[in-house]
Every structure is written in C-alpha cells, then in structure tokens.
Amino acid sequence: MARMARVAVVTDSTAYLPEELVRRHAIEVVPLYVVFGGDRTVPETDITDFPAFFEELRRAESLPTTSQPSVGDFVAVYERLLSAGRDVISVHISGGLSGTPESARQAALALQRDGRGGERVRVVDSATAAGGLGMLVLSAAAAASGGASLDEVEAHAAEARAELKMWFALDTLEFLKRGGRIGAASAWIGSTLKVKPILTLESEMVPVERVRTSARMFDRMVEYARQRAESGANAWAVQHINAPDQCERLVQSCREIFGCPPLIVSEIGPVLSAHTGPGLLGVGSLPSRYTEPRRI
C-alpha cells in the first residue's frame, strides 16, 4: 500500500479499477447501486458473478435500474478521512450520466455546514466514466503521492482530463435506447439498431461512427489506439463487458502499438453494463506524465 499522502483520493465504483491498483494507491471507492425489479438494491461492488448478472439481464422483462451513492455514503467516507487530518479529492462519473457528483457535493456541503471540514473536500466531475475515470483517478493519486496540495492535485486532474480520450464500441444500441442514456447518439436510432456504434464520452454519450461488423469495429479500435500513441498519449487502458477474448486481442495489439504495459485492463461492471449491454470494448489513453509518480 502507498504511504499515506496528505490528500486522499476518493472515487466511485464506475471507474472499475482493478483491486490491485485500488490497494496500491490507497484509493477509497464508494459504490453505486443496482436496483433489481424495484425491490432489491445491491451495492455494485457486491456483485462479483458477472456471468450470472448478464444472464439475469438477458432474461429480464425490464432492465435493472441504477442509483448513485447517497449523501450519507459520501459523508461516512469523507468524515473518516477528514478526521484523520487529510484533505480529499473526490473524482466521479460524469454528472451527465449520473447524480453521483451532486451527491458528493452535497456531502461536502453538509460537512462544511456542520463545521466538520467539508471545505477540505474537492469534488471533480470527470465528464467521463469507466477507463477514462480510472485514468483520471490514477492521475490524482500520482500527484497526491508526490506530496501535492489539494489545489495542486485538483489542477493536475483537470490538466489530465483535457488530454484524455476514450472510445467505446458497443455490440448494439438497444440497451442504451431501453435505458434512456443514449444522449447525442439518439440520432442513430431512426436508421437501424443493427450497427456496431462507436462512441466517446464528453459529459454524455457522443457518437463517433457506425460500422457494420464486429471485425471492422475491432479494427477501428486498433486504429484509434495507434492514433493516440502517435499523439504521445501513451498511458493506456482497455476495458470490456463480457467480451474477454476480444479484450485480450485488443490488449495484445495495444502492447505492440504503445510499447509499454497497460495502465488499466478490467471488466466494466453491472452499473454501466445495465445501460450498455454486453459486448462493449473500450480503449483510450492520456500522456504518461500524468500518471507517473512525481515529486511536488
């Protein structure tokens, strides 16, 4: 585990950071919730059998819904860290997709009103999710571990976000359509659902292009990785939803392209997969200077 920095890094479960990275960087993870049939609410981090979840997803007449952490969930984490004398940077899924950043802000305000140090909490709306969020969290952790102040960690994360790019390829638009989270890609619905959409995330889902086959989808993801490497953004991440073989192939291709190991490889969990469905493949990167240990 990393030595205790004066700035603690908090995120939510939609970063889908591998547990080894969470432990190594002493990152606090506040889970979102999955609501099954309106009567069973489960913290996302408690759902570990993904195949069983996807089977339930396929059989369900209506998709599970999802819910952000409560204000109380954040208060409990922040209060513990603040009482230990630490400042807090809390980096979260896009507010365009989830109320999570607002819950975090309300928690900080409640602690500030009560004189319990809430002014020492900075909430960052990442305007992204999944691998993009994970890379920003690791950027914040890199600055914090180097002794950066709260202002410096926040500025470092903002600079990293400006250079972060992620693409997500979906097997279908059907789940986004059913869940109502399709954003600007809604213009594609009228033509056909039988395409492989490629999107990015800038506060909300933004369409990039449509391809017809899984093979072409995979090729475009590899091409995008090559573009990112050529631009100098060489700290990279690959994620998937119920597509381990494609993920492994993409990781192998990216190792050759970037010439270095991945920053993050993981499977996206139930909260986001309930909205996108299985078959997602994601790749993105930012310059490695943001995620490397640095002394302030």
Using one digit for the tens of pLDDT, what is the confidence trace for 169-178? Answer: 998 777 776 6
**Portion of the chain with pLDDT greater than 90, in percent:** 76
| Tokens found for residue 231 | 């631009």
How confident is the model at residue 4, as a pLDDT? 80
| Mean pLDDT value across residues 188-199 | 68
Report, at the CATH architecture level, how domain 165-290 is classified. Answer: 2-Layer Sandwich (3.30)
Residue 28 has pLDDT above 80, yes or no: yes
Q: What is the mean predicted confidence (pLDDT) over 261-289? A: 94
The pTM of the whole model exceeds 0.85: yes
pLDDT recorded at residue 190: 47
Q: Which residue did the predictor score with more confidence, 56 or 101?
A: 101
Burial of 276 (0-12, 13-18, 19+ CB in 10 A): buried
Indicate where the chain has its CATH 3.30.1180.10 domain(s). 165-290
Distance of alpha carbon 99 from alpha carbon 280, whole angstroms: 23
- Residues 149-167 pLDDT 10s: 999 999 999 999 999 999 9
Give CA angle at 225 (264, 194), nearest 5°. Answer: 95
Q: Token pair of 67, please?
A: 């819910």
1 has pLDDT over 80: no
Q: How far apart are CA 242 and CA 269, in angstroms?
A: 9
For range 232-252, the mean pLDDT: 97
Q: Is the pLDDT of residue 193 over 60?
A: no
Q: E strands, the chain, where?
A: 7-12, 28-30, 33-36, 40-43, 65-67, 87-92, 121-125, 165-169, 196-202, 204-211, 235-240, 264-267, 281-286
Q: Tokens 């990152």 label which residue?
A: 27
pLDDT higher than 50, residue 199: yes
Q: How confident is the model at residue 240 (pLDDT cuts 50, 70, 90)?
A: very high
Average pLDDT, the chain: 91
The percentage of the chain sitting over the pLDDT mark of 70, rounded to a whole number, equals 92
pLDDT, residue 282, reads: 97
Domain 7-32+69-161 is of which CATH architecture? 3-Layer(aba) Sandwich (3.40)
Per-residue pLDDT at 288: 97
The Cα–Cα gap between 84 and 78 comes to: 10
pLDDT digits (tens, 9 = 90+) for 100-114: 999 999 999 999 999
Q: What is the distance between the alpha carbons of residues 252 and 176, in angstroms, rounded to a whole number?
A: 29
Place of tokens 């940077």: 89
Sheet holding 65-67, edge to edge: 40-43, 33-36, 65-67
Say whether pLDDT at 239 is over 90: yes
Instruction: Give 9-20 pLDDT, tens digit per residue.
Output: 999 999 999 999
Query: At 2, is the pLDDT very low, low, confident or very high (cuts 50, 70, 90)?
Result: very low
List every span in the chain annotated with CATH 3.40.50.10440.
Answer: 7-32+69-161
Which residue reads 């970063």 in tokens?
A: 15
Per-residue confidence band for 179, with pLDDT thresholds at 50, 70 and 90: low
Which pLDDT tens digit goes with each residue over 73-126? Answer: 999 999 999 999 999 999 999 999 999 999 999 999 999 999 999 999 999 999
pLDDT at position 181 is 53
CA–CA separation, 134 vs 18, rounded Å?
A: 9
Backbone dihedral angles phi then psi of residue 72, each to the nearest 5 degrees = -65, -35
The residues, ordered by sequence, that sit 6+ positions from 104 with a Cβ below 8 Å of its Cβ are 10, 30, 69, 74, 90, 92, 121, 123
How deeply is 113 buried, as exposed, middle or buried, from its count of CB atoms within 10 A (0-12, 13-18, 19+)?
A: exposed
Please give the average per-residue pLDDT across 64-77, as a whole number: 96
